[in-house]
Amino acid sequence: MRIVIIEDDPAIRQELTVLLQNALYEVTAPDEFEDAASAALSASPDLILLDVKLPGESGFDICSKVRAVSDVPVLFLTSQTNAADELNGMLMGGDDYITKPFHPPILLARIAAVLKRTKKAGAKEQDRLEYKGVALDIARGRICFQDKQSELTRNEFKILYYLFQHTGRIIPRIELIEYLWDNQVFIDDNALSVNMTRIRGKLEHLGVRDFVETKRGMGYRL
């Protein structure tokens, strides 16, 4: 399980990192907060631990941007103790709200509870696949990034769906071709290249570059 910590206090950030690593979580803890939502999502986290008071954007603003494109659980960690802030955090899409100073065993228990709850919900119906901040909307046949989205053709959707299902692995062209056209008569090998060019064009229109990597002589990889 990977957790992204967005916390501007170096001492607290280090304390959280050690605590979570000792609990066998994989941790990413950036020390810069420009475009924090995209940076966090690019790590493909299972949970985001988010401070409310940050330089620049507030944690509430960051959570709102995350929620626009992702259902990854967000747990607020803050020194704010009033009910209005807690309510605001929940309305912005937060999954839990913990005040500082925190008790490590309680924090770990709350994280485990949120992960268990969201994993169960995801197991019932997975209608989105996400990788590096890009979401494939399975129900609607769209590709989404931040607050933008683009409609996909049937073959564009099938290509991206297969790549999302095998992130990090190089998919040979012939494997994609067989998946796309199955037992149908395949006429032109260029058809795959044409579809891939269109996919990249749509991704670039959303502001995403180099998402689909071409490994010359081998295939494609996310």
Q: What share of the chain is helix, strand, coil (3-state, %, to 5)?
A: 45, 20, 35
Q: 149 - beta bridge partners? A: 144
pLDDT, position 189: 67
- CATH match of 128-221 with 1.10.10.10: yes
Show me where the domains of the chain are located: 2-124, 128-221
Q: What is the pLDDT along the chain (222 residues), one digit of tens a residue?
A: 889 999 999 999 999 999 999 888 989 999 888 889 988 998 889 999 999 888 888 888 899 888 888 889 999 988 766 656 656 666 667 888 888 888 898 899 989 988 888 775 554 445 788 898 899 988 788 999 988 999 999 889 989 998 998 888 899 888 888 777 764 545 566 888 899 999 999 999 999 999 999 988 889 999
pLDDT, position 77: 86
Q: Which CATH architecture has domain 2-124?
A: 3-Layer(aba) Sandwich (3.40)
8 A C-beta contact, residue 149 and residue 143: yes
Check the CA dihedral 127-129-130-134 and report its sign.
Answer: negative
